[in-house]
A and B are shown apart, each in its own frame.
Chain A
Amino acid sequence: MAIDGLIILDANGRPIIQSGYTSFPPAYPLLHIDALNNELAKAPSSGIIDPIIYVASGGGGDMPDGSACCHIQVREMRMLASISGDLDPLVAFAFLQAFHDILQDYFGTVSTVTLKGNFDTVYQLIEEILDSSGHPLTTSPSILRDIVIPPSLLSTLLASLPASAPSVGRSGGPTSLNNTGGAFASPIPWRKVGVRHNSNEILFDVTEEMRAIVGRNGATLASNVIGTIECNSRLSGMPDLLASFSNPNVMAECAFHPCVRLQRWKREQTLSFIPPDGKFVLGEYQYAPPQKVVVNNLPIPVALKPNIIIGELGGSFTVTFTSRMMKAMENVKIEWYLGEDATGAQCTLSGAGSGVGSTGGAEGSWTFDSRKKILRWEIPSMHSSGSRVLRGSWTSKAQVPRPAHAFQIRFELPSYSFSSLKIDHVRLSSETYKMYKGVRMQSCGSIEWRW
């Protein structure tokens, strides 16, 4: 049960950062890098390869003879975790994600430049989050910040002071050798003791995403709504919170942050927790509609009417997009893959003459991505129920063009919630100060529409 090591590769497949691999021969990480690069070289243009690559080695010595390389893509880079023995690859992926989040927290953007520029910090971080026998340790950013100082102007100043000087600014600052850093004195691993904020506030950000597949006859084949509750907590001390919902029944299949007392949720359907400091995901749920019948068959708030004629060396199309929402819809993006052989497209936009709803706002715009062969249609905002039409044609090198039989539709619905979930109240016990709390709802959709 262990992660052998971590490597970050740049866009050219060369390692920039590599963790210890102290228990392994030097050839071992190289084998993994080669394995990944080989797969990438063999991959089709899409660059999609299996996320777990088996790495066989000749065995011998300390070399594990059956290991696997789990990797994720971060911008132009690849982060890979080597695992051998009987480890859950999900641990590796969850860990890579956590590692990425930490780097983001420390450096803002995670890129080749920031990593190279701060390699000493990255190494200190790796030391703290992954022990040499491969056990993930602390991955909570707020606690790590006490052990490894983020590179900032302040820390540069602090570092230039001699160790004997009293530490300035940060309480429990690690620069001082005489400090008994309280990082792990806390009884709970996700929150340190002694957090202080001048103004105490907690913000809840609820985002619901509808995912659906609509068949060619317009019938919904599969659909569900997944909600995520993100929190930004800036509360002092050890705040014990109790959040209750006016309609908890709309939340099904919940998954929570470790801080949530699960038994309590099971019993009372209230969220009782001591939050970590800063941003975190409190929980996720699936929207369970009140009538059991419509499970997996929620009404889709948009409609698409494609009319496509495929000819030789191209084709023509008329696509009508309709919003069925009474609310404003924003950032509508419709994508259509025209096939590997597509060479170009020409379109006109119109506001559909149905008369219902306004044609106000931009008509939208279209582009053809000649590298990815994707036709993109974007409508920045649509007011109430209205329609837009995209007419045009495309050309292709192939005698019989093979465009994708599905459109990908994305849209955003600000201050809307599919489930109408409502946070009733949030109570604070164990601390005496007054806190400010805020809740924001928003929704979005990602629909595959086949024709």
Chain B
Amino acid sequence: MSSQHGQDAKFFQRGKIEEFRAELQAAESKDKKYQKRKTVLKKIVANITMGNDMSPLFHDVIQCIGTPLLEIKKMVYLYLVSYGRSKPDQIHMVIPSFLQDCNDRNPLIRALAIRTMAYIPIPVVTEALSDQLRHCLKDRDPYVRKTAAICVAKLYVADPRKAEKAGFVEMLRDMLLDSNATVVANAVAALSEIGDRQDGVIFRLNLTVANKLIASLGESSEWGQIYILDSLLRFVPEEHSEAEMMGERIIVQLQHANSAVVLTAIKVLLYLMNYMENRRLIEYICKKMGPPLVALLSSGPEVQYVTLRNILLIIQRRPAVLKNDVKVFFCKYNDPIYVKLAKLEIMYRLAREENAQEVLAELEEYASEVDIDFVRKSVRSIGRLAIKVEAAADNCIQSLLTLIETKVTYVVQEAVIVIKDIFRRYPGKYEGIIPTLCENLDVLDEPESKAAMIWILGQFANRIDNADELLDDLVYSFLDEPTEVQLALLTATVKLFIYKSTSDATKALVHKVLKWATENVDNPDLRDRGFMYWRMLAVNPTLAQELVLAQKPAITTDSDRMDRGALDQLLLHTGTLGSIYHKNPETFIRNAAGRALVDTPALNPSSRAVILPLSRPHLPPTTVTVQGPGPIEPTYVPPAEPSKLVASATSEASGQDLLDVDNAIARPGSYDGEIDVDGEDEVPVKTGDPYANLDGAFGGYLADKPQPMSSSRGGNTNFDDLLL
């Protein structure tokens, strides 16, 4: 065994093309049991995987295709997968072998042949494949059928309209009723892939087919179940009862061992709940969804992370889920940092008056940990907890003061930042602790905490006896400070002056700062603000007082909850990249098909009220001929097709169409500016940087800074309203 390893490892050494060619030619004669050929081919494949170009051997390698040894055949096919597409002028030589293998007695070889052909998008191959595929889709062996189903999706990529015309899409649809569950699952996968293309056929399920698919779940492999469950999002309930019945049947899938199956089932349930009316059923489903999510948290850290990010989304839309399970999210010392941060966020979300004490005790525990990043975010969470749960505010403040006593620099800085927000949330309640903060002024060396402290000094200058001295000290290094601190200093000195306008010292101080801001600084924001204050103070000091010390709107953390309509849409992507980054995928993945709730009579009113249109450019429903770059087939006669397809599709269905053909031939990228697809949409179809709106999506922990309270539509604090 070990000697064989050593031998094989040698294949990884660089070989020479000529050497291999000579060896292959030598192997043509006197090759007992094809052993020589096998060895050379192994070397060649090893070289391909190392990234060495083996394409010059094309002619020599394809000579081996007829060798009656499966291992050799597989290696030749592996070679063809790598280089077939780069040899359009020689590929025709292989086609007879392909055709022969397509009709081999061994189903493995039949499948291998069509699979390999599907990887080579060269017209002559595709042409040959189309003929063979028709038989293979009806092959008696399920292995061949399931392979053929996937090949249809490949063929579709190469030429959508041709694949449609050849009737492959309908054949796939018929395969949804195949007796073999794996074949069904692959047909679903292929149809989904086609349906996800912006230029593809729209793949929609009707009730009959959806129910059949659900029935086949029991016999499918885990991957098949994922495809089938995911495809159920393509079923649009027309009546409440449809959604409710289907939901009841899917609940049982939550008991699956595969984490991806569970999360996909949850996604489908969340979707169907938008179309349900029965409040008790909805409550029941919410109750049933919690435990499987918790169970996923006993898996490895990677699965935990994905689950936690999804839980974060789910509990914003359905707060009933996991409402009483905050303990599950307590961080363990050995959790990886990314898991800890995700848990922290959820703990904050689940905090209510009833459990605030428990949560606070945990947060205090974390604040004494070793990882700096985690400690800071824990301290920050204590402050956010104070802002969110009024009843816990006293204890939170007490806890923050204890933390400040530790004198650990980053803890103190973080505490000062959140205390500033607490002051704004509860005006007139906690200002008594300001002297304690002032004692720690020297520790602050980060812009954010320094600016926060300066804000406190300025805002409450009338209550701090030595505010002028403290500010005077801070102003000393004004010109070396970052802009954030400079702006804070400028405003704070102006506030100080308004409070104590009689003092000569403050007058001198504000004059100094205004002069610096307007004359010695290059930053236009700072300069403009300096001029503004200066003029205001000079022209009308009373008005300046009203403006500068105006009552500030109290802040809240409730408005940080995501907009309800956007949430609904994101939840259709539960368990996908979008849910990890909390962005709709079409905003950061070009060509990703967006998902949106479809309005039907069954959609419950509250979901309808916030429904958001799909932000992907809607392709016009009727045919539009775009004179763009890109070839347009002259024989193409679009209008006849949709009706034909729909008609044939309805044959077995109850009046609803299984397949709709969206005939727009316009493809993204081929617009030449003549049609305004959706003028108001901000989706970066053509903008240079598709990630421009990604800002803090990756690891962006504080996506929900406390913000001014507003009558926002998302800021709905009544949990009951979210039930429907």
Chain A CB within 8 A of B506 CB: no
Give the residue name and chain of the B residue nearest to A88 (CB).
B575
Contacts of A90 in B (CB 8 A): 259-260, 263, 303, 306-307, 575
With both beta carbons as reference points, the residue of chain A lying nearest to B146 in the complex is identified as: A184
Which residues of B88-111 are within 8 A (CB) of A?
104-109
Closest to B298 in A: A226
Interface string of B640-663 (1 = CB under 8 A from A): 000000000000000000000000
The 4 closest A-B pairs by CB, nearest first: A117-B5, A184-B143, A51-B302, A66-B589
Q: Which residues on A sit within 8 Å (CB–CB) of B1? A: 151, 153
Asked whether any CB of chain A lies closer than 8 Å to the CB of B569, the reply is: no
Stretch with Cβ within 8 A of B (4 or more), from A120-128, A318-326, A357-365, A384-392: A120-128
Q: Which of A97, A177, A183 has the most CB of B within 10 A?
A: A177
Apart from the given pairs A181-B143, A222-B327, A405-B333, 14 other A-B contacts in the complex at a CB distance below 8 Å: A64-B589, A86-B577, A116-B5, A117-B5, A119-B49, A120-B75, A135-B223, A156-B4, A162-B33, A185-B142, A189-B221, A257-B257, A286-B295, A448-B333
- B305 contacts A51, C-beta separation under 8 Å: yes
- In the complex, the answer to whether B49 meets A66 with C-beta atoms within 8 Å is no
CA distance A204 to B560 in the complex (A): 49
A253 to B4, CA, bound (A): 47
One digit per residue, 1 when the CB lies within 8 angstroms of any chain A CB and 0 when it does not, for chain B 698-720 equals 11000000000000000000000
Identify which of A175, A213, A258 contacts B220 (C-beta below 8 A).
A258
Indicate with 1 or 0, residue by residue over A148-182, a CB within 8 angstroms of chain B CB atoms. 00010100100111111000000000110111110
Q: Are B292 and A253 in contact (CB under 8 A)?
A: yes
Q: Which of A51, A113, A255 contacts B292 (CB 8 A)?
A: A255
Does B230 sit within 8 A of A, measured CB to CB? yes
Partner pick for A94 among B142, B143, B180, B260, CB 8 A cutoff: B260
Chain B residue at smallest Cβ distance from A400: B408
Is residue B370 within 8 Å, beta carbon to beta carbon, of the partner chain? yes
Within 8 Å of chain B (Cβ to Cβ): is A404? Answer: yes
CA distance A181 to B369 in the complex (A): 58
Cα A402 to Cα B362 in complex, Å, equals: 18
Tell me whether A189 and B224 are in contact (CB under 8 A).
Answer: yes
5 A-B pairs (CB sep. < 8 Å): A90-B306, A91-B226, A93-B303, A120-B46, A406-B332
Give bound CA distance, A146 to B9, whole Å: 25
Contact indicator per residue, chain B 292-306, by CB within 8 Å of chain A (1) or not (0): 101100101111011
Contact of B106 among A179, A257, A281 (CB under 8 A): A179
- The answer to whether B33 touches A178, judged by C-beta atoms less than 8 angstroms apart, is no
Q: Say how far A181's CB is from chain B's closest CB, in angstroms.
A: 5
Q: What is the CB-to-nearest-CB distance from A248 to chain B, in angstroms, rounded to a whole number?
A: 13
Question: Which chain B residues border A116 with CB–CB below 8 Å?
Answer: 5, 8-9, 12
Would A1 and B5 count as touching, CB distance under 8 A? no
- Kindly list chain A residues whose C-beta atoms are within 8 Å of the C-beta of B70: 163, 174-175, 177
B33 touches A160 (CB 8 A): yes
Residues on the B chain within 8 Å of A64, using CB: 589, 591
CB atoms of B141 and A184 under 8 A apart: yes
Q: Is the CB of B115 within 8 A of A131?
A: yes
A215 to B154: give the CA distance in the assembly, Å: 57
Q: Chain B residues near A331: list those with CB within 8 A.
A: none
Contact partners of B12 in chain A: CB under 8 A: 116, 119
Query: With an 8 A cutoff between CB atoms, is A290 at the interface?
Result: no
- One digit per residue, 1 when the CB lies within 8 angstroms of any chain A CB and 0 when it does not, for chain B 584-616 equals 010011111100000000000000000000000
Q: Does B328 contact A (CB under 8 A)?
A: yes
Q: Are B255 and A408 in contact (CB under 8 A)?
A: no
Q: A256 with B589: in contact, given A117-B5, A137-B223, A178-B106 (CB under 8 Å)? A: no
B368 at the interface (CB under 8 A from A): yes
